[in-house]
Structure 1
Amino acid sequence: MKKTKSFRGHSRSGIHLIGALALAYGGVASGADQPPTDVEALRKQVIEQTNHIETLKRQMAETDAKLAEIQKALGKEALSKTRGAGASPSRDSQPIEIAQAPQSAQTTPAAKSDTVGEPPAQRERVQQIAQIFEQPGVLTPKGTFNIEPGLTYGYSSSNRVSLVGYTIIPALLIGLIDIREVKRNTVTANLTARYGVTNRFELEARLPYVRRWDSVTSRPLAIGAGQEGLFNSDGSGVGDFEASARYQLNDGGADKPYYIGSLRFKSRTGTDPFEVLNEGTTSTRLSNGLQKELPTGSGFYTIQPGLTMLYPADPAVFFGSINYQYNFTRSNVTLNTTEGPVKLGDVEPGGVFGINFGMGLAINERSSFSLGYDFASVGTTKVNGRTPPLSVRTTLGTMLVGYSHQIDKTTSLNVSVGVGVTADSPDVALTVRMPMNL
């Protein structure tokens, strides 16, 4: 009996062992993922897997490179659309139609897609920059024609005290004391056309129409005048025609600045300040220096090279530019006065060094606002190689704020306000622009 039980126990253990070995052998024989027992086969499998991994790495690197190119292309496309959207900064946006950006300009784009499988166009966010400076930043896309009608109103006032006489003892003046208050209003309607020759090169033409009127209130105190005198003058007509060219110097991109070089030429199509009728030329006349008709142009040919920088940092765009305006000398200039023509000779206006900077911030996908400061230093004017006694360097400073709204895919509205911070700057300037891509 004992031997029988022992045999049965061994039999059961043997059966279980044989079953386990059969299952294990069957798994090895039928399982495709089990490693083979042969060393050469294992080595071959390792080599194949290594090659497969290297192939996957190369494919991943190629995919990353293609994705980077697509993102870069989307960024450039969004940037090129900013002018029509409002350039900039610009311009420009607008480079950026930052347009003006800052456009108006001038705007720097950023295209993002965070969801896998979602088309980038549906999540694209274009930063717009409300154009606050004259020169936009972002360029017009290749083959695109842009028309920008604009209207600017400027107002300035100043008080001036003129002393015409001589002093015999301190604080005692013999002669005339003329106190004047000058109020000047200017309305300028601009029609600007831009064409993108390439994605990096743009041409621009601008023709202004100027309407001006001045009111001068004067009171010669030293001769006992009992009431103030009022002198009104106005003028209107075509202003100075301008032509500009802009070229994007580098590729730029997200967190990389864009650099745009520009060259502007201004003609003398407006009414010459020397040909309008001036009242009086001698220092003994109280009305010396008053113009019966106001000019609509500067009277000098001008060339202005400049460099604009746009730096996108979502959701803001920082922009700035530096430029120098050179005014060509005029020879044999004659001043038209009520006492007849007066020969002045050679007149050389001073050069103008300018710098501006600002920031554009996107409110949403269709609206943005910009803040900036515009500075200009105007050199002294020389007549026949000499600087007249009353010719001094003039400093102009203006704080600007602008707003841009994209009306539709091709049209936007830009509004900007400038406030003078120096005595020689206009008190206020209001500008409305409506760039449209055709």
Structure 2
Amino acid sequence: MTFRTIPFAVAVALMASSSFAQTSNTTPATADAARDALAKKEGEGDQSALLKQTLTAVDKQYTLIRRGGFQLTYDLSYSYVGEERIVTDIANGNATLFNIENNNSHTVTNTFSADYGVLDNLTANVTLPLLSRYADTAARSGMSNSIGDLGFGARWQPFEARRDQPGLTLTGNVRLPTGRSPFKIIAGSGEATGSGVGAVTAGLNVNKIVDPVALFGSLNFTAYTPAKDLWQINGSRILTRVQPGTTFGFGMGFAYALSYGISTTVSFQEAISAGSKLRFADGLEAKTHMQTSGILNLGLGYRVSPKTTINFSVGIGVTPDSPNLVVGMNLPLSF
């Protein structure tokens, strides 16, 4: 049973109308009329149902869909990365060729995801991103439009969800390098739209609803396949193999239902990646530094129908290895 609080203005109006009714000797409102006034309007659900929908829209990894159910989701995101890079060449203890380069990258991603309920506690999904990327650097500038990396995944809920207990979900994802590899791009031929390597991710997600707030958190681990048989000119050397380092990620946040139609979310995500191993044609091997990417996300959800909630989000990078800005829109459609 859901209890609703009478707004202060409504309470004042009710007291005023009651006083007027007593002074004018009119018939007071009946109990049935009071119940009708406080009853939920058509299409409204309880807070728990709304928060579950909010979790689904904010991050589809937290909740599942029923057996035989089908859901199509469209995500639109824009990200911007801007940096100033100092280029130097140190020889014999002296810095030469000092220069400052401005590098800017704009990426628009259209992602189509399809989810299918294999069982009530098992959901399979496939994800297809379409990318448009524009880069402007000192060396080159150009734009590319192509598909990104195709993804397949599954979410499994080992224990039955209960109202007073946290919900636990195990996730697994496989990403295929179907986009344009950054290790095979020739100068002047466009920008990369994929990672260039395959990846396998295993994760654990937890959520708990404490009306009117839903708390959620996640842990994940990603391993990558190497990019082999390369022949990319990199400065004065030729790159032949890349082995990306493993990545550990975590996230946490909360969703708050302001009303039956509006919800807000605040979350933080961080990914820590080990250095990548590089091999060149002349036998030289090198390793890059560890990278840390952290993003603070602010979201707003608007419920346009009992089955559809449009979500808008803004992400702000809080570490040097993060995008400066990420703006997104999420539109889930259930069938």
Give the structure-2-normalised TM-score: 0.80
- Paired residues of 1:201 and 1:246 also in contact (CA < 8 A): yes
User: Is residue 203 of structure 1 aligned with residue 100 of structure 2?
Assistant: no
Structure 1 counterpart of 2:286: 388
- Greater share of helix residues, 1 or 2? 1
SS of corresponding position for 1:298: coil
- Paired residues of 1:130 and 1:369 also in contact (CA < 8 A): no
- Paired residues of 1:130 and 1:403 also in contact (CA < 8 A): no
Paired residue type of 2:73: E
Structure 1 counterpart of 2:78: 153
Equivalent pairs: percent with the same residue?
24
- Paired residues of 1:131 and 1:370 also in contact (CA < 8 A): no
Partner Cα separation in structure 2 for residue 359 and residue 387 of structure 1:
44
Paired residue type of 2:109: T
Paired residue type of 1:190: T
Out of 220, 225, 236, which is 1:323 matched to?
220
Structure 2 counterpart of 1:50: none
Map 1:20-169 onto structure 2 (within 5 A): 124-125=46-47, 126-128=49-51, 129=54, 135-167=60-92
User: Is residue 347 of structure 1 aligned with residue 238 of structure 2?
Assistant: no
SS of corresponding position for 1:127: helix
Paired residue type of 2:102: E
SS of corresponding position for 1:388: strand
Structure 2 counterpart of 1:366: 261
Structure 2 counterpart of 1:46: none
User: Is residue 233 of structure 1 aligned with residue 142 of structure 2?
Assistant: yes
Out of 166, 172, 184, which is 2:105 matched to?
184
- Paired residues of 1:235 and 1:296 also in contact (CA < 8 A): yes
Structure 1 counterpart of 2:177: 268
Structure 2 counterpart of 1:397: 294
- Paired residues of 2:64 and 2:155 also in contact (CA < 8 A): yes
Shift of 1:254: 2.1
Partner Cα separation in structure 1 for residue 75 and residue 264 of structure 2:
18
Paired residue type of 1:409: P
Structure 1 counterpart of 2:231: 334
- Paired residues of 1:242 and 1:265 also in contact (CA < 8 A): yes
Shift of 1:330: 2.9
Paired residue type of 1:154: S
Structure showing greater radius of gyration is 1
User: Is residue 376 of structure 1 aligned with residue 298 of structure 2?
Assistant: no
Partner Cα separation in structure 1 for residue 180 and residue 252 of structure 2:
32
User: Is residue 248 of structure 1 aligned with residue 157 of structure 2?
Assistant: yes
Partner Cα separation in structure 2 for residue 196 and residue 365 of structure 1:
26
Shift of 1:364: 1.2
- Greater share of strand residues, 1 or 2? 2
SS of corresponding position for 2:182: coil
Aligned residue-pair number: 292
- Paired residues of 2:294 and 2:317 also in contact (CA < 8 A): yes
Partner Cα separation in structure 1 for residue 193 and residue 219 of structure 2:
26
Shift of 1:403: 1.3
Partner Cα separation in structure 2 for residue 123 and residue 301 of structure 1:
42
Shift of 1:252: 3.1
Partner Cα separation in structure 1 for residue 191 and residue 44 of structure 2:
54
Change (3 A) 1:193 1:322: same
Which segments of structure 1 move beyond 3 Å, counting only runs of 4 or more? 121-125, 130-135, 336-339, 342-346, 384-387
Partner Cα separation in structure 1 for residue 305 and residue 151 of structure 2:
29
SS of corresponding position for 2:64: coil
- Paired residues of 2:83 and 2:103 also in contact (CA < 8 A): yes
- Paired residues of 2:184 and 2:230 also in contact (CA < 8 A): no
Partner Cα separation in structure 2 for residue 246 and residue 127 of structure 1:
21
Paired residue type of 2:89: V
CA RMSD of aligned residues (A): 2.7
Deviations 1:346-377 (A, max 9, x none): 32111111000000111112221110000000
Partner Cα separation in structure 2 for residue 383 and residue 338 of structure 1:
14
Give the structure-1-normalised TM-score: 0.62
Structure 2 counterpart of 1:212: 133
Partner Cα separation in structure 2 for residue 332 and residue 132 of structure 1:
40
Paired residue type of 2:119: T
- Paired residues of 1:206 and 1:243 also in contact (CA < 8 A): yes
- Paired residues of 2:57 and 2:331 also in contact (CA < 8 A): no
Shift of 1:231: 3.7
Partner Cα separation in structure 1 for residue 320 and residue 107 of structure 2:
17
